[in-house]
Amino acid sequence: MSTSPVILLLSGSLRADSSNEAVLRTACAVAPDVRVGAVLYDGLAGLPHFNPDDDTDPLPAPVAGLRAVIDRAAGILICTPEYAGTLPGSFKNLLDWTVGGTEISDKPVAWVNAAAPGRGGGAEATLRAVLGYTGADIVEAACVKIPVDRGMRGADGLIADAGVRRQLGEVLGLLAASGARRPVSGQGRRAGVTPRRRDSSPDH
Q: One digit per residue, pLDDT tens: the chain, 204 residues?
A: 458 899 999 999 999 889 999 999 999 999 999 999 999 999 999 999 999 999 999 999 999 999 999 999 999 999 999 999 999 999 999 999 999 999 999 999 999 999 988 889 999 999 999 999 999 999 999 999 999 988 899 889 999 999 999 999 999 999 999 987 665 444 333 222 233 355 555 444
Q: What is the pLDDT of residues 37-95, one digit of tens each?
A: 999 999 999 999 999 999 999 999 999 999 999 999 999 999 999 999 999 999 999 99
Please tell me the distance from the alpha carbon of residue 50 to that of residue 175, in angstroms, as a whole number: 28
- Could you give the C-alpha distances from 36 to 8, 127, 143, 170, in angstroms and in order? 11, 24, 18, 11
The Cα angle at residue 18 between residues 156 and 91, in degrees rounded to 5: 140
